Amino acid sequence: MTTLDSLSHWRLDRDADGLAWLTFDRAGSAVNALSADTMAELATVLDALDAQPPKGLVIRSGKPTGFIVGADVNEFAELNTPEQGRALVARGWNLFNRLAAVRYPTLALIQGHCLGGGLELALACRYRLVEDAPGASLALPEVMLGIFPGWGGMLRLPALIGAPAALDMMLTGRGADARRAATLGLVDARVPTRLLQAAARGMVLSGKPPRRARGLGAWLNRWPLKAVAANRARKQIAAKDPLRHYPAAPAIVDLWEKHGGNALQAPALIDGIIASDTARNLLRVFRLQERLKANGRQAGAPPVRHVHVVGAGVMGGDIAAWCALKGMTVTLQDQDMARIAPAIKRAATLFSRRLKDRRAARAAFDRLVPDPAGGGVPLADLVIEAISENPEAKRGLYQALEPRMKADALLATNTSSLSLETLRGGLARPERLVGIHFFNPVAKMPLVEVVHADGTAEATLARACAFVGQIGKLALPVRSAPGFLVNAVLAPYMLQAMRSVDEGLSPATVDSAMVAFGMPMGPLELADTVGLDIARAAGQELAGGAEPPRCLAEKLARGDLGKKSGRGFYAWRDGKPVKEGQPGQAPAGLAERLIQPLIDATRERVEAGVVADADLADAGVIFGTGFAPFTGGPLHYQSSRSA
Provide the 8-state DSSP code for 430: G
The DSSP result for 208-230, as a single string, is PPPP---HHHHHTTSTTHHHHHH
Neighbours of 244 (CB within 10 A): 11
Residue closest to 271 by CA, chosen among 279, 283, 282, 261:
279
Residue closest to 565 by CA, chosen among 611, 601, 527, 612:
527
CB 204 within 8 A of CB 56: yes
Provide the 8-state DSSP code for 567: B
481's enclosing H/E stretch is none
- Residue 380 Ramachandran class (φ > 0 left, ψ -120 to 50 alpha, else beta): beta
Residue closest to 282 by CA, chosen among 618, 526, 605, 520:
618
Mapped onto helix, strand or coil, the DSSP state of residue 98 is: helix
CA distances to 44, 59, 102, 386 from 51, rounded to whole Å, are 11, 18, 12, 65
* Contact residues for 262 (Cβ-Cβ < 8 A; gap 6+): 93, 154, 155, 255
| C-alpha torsion 440→442→448→450, nearest 10 | 90
Instruction: Tell me how far apart the alpha carbons of residues 446 and 452 are, in angstroms, rounded to a whole number.
Output: 19
Instruction: Tell me how far apart the alpha carbons of residues 92 and 98 are, in angstroms, rounded to a whole number.
Output: 10
Residue closest to 352 by CA, chosen among 363, 340, 341:
363
Instruction: Tell me how far apart the alpha carbons of residues 198 and 536 are, in angstroms, rounded to a whole number.
Output: 62
Q: Strand 106-110 vs strand 56-61: parallel, antiparallel, or unpaired?
A: parallel
Provide the 8-state DSSP code for 601: H
Provide the 8-state DSSP code for 79: -
Residue in 9, 308, 437, 636 annotated catalytic:
437
To the query of whether residue 437 is one of the catalytic residues in this protein, the response is yes
CA atoms within 13 A on the CB side of 539: 24
Computed over its alpha carbons, how large is the radius of gyration of the chain?
26
Instruction: Tell me how far apart the alpha carbons of residues 390 and 373 are, in angstroms, rounded to a whole number.
Output: 21
- Residue 550 Ramachandran class (φ > 0 left, ψ -120 to 50 alpha, else beta): alpha
Neighbours of 521 (CB within 10 A): 15
**Burial class (CB within 10 angstroms; exposed 0-12, middle 13-18, buried 19+) of 235:** exposed
* Contact residues for 176 (Cβ-Cβ < 8 A; gap 6+): 137, 138, 139, 169, 184, 186
Q: Which residues are catalytic?
A: 437
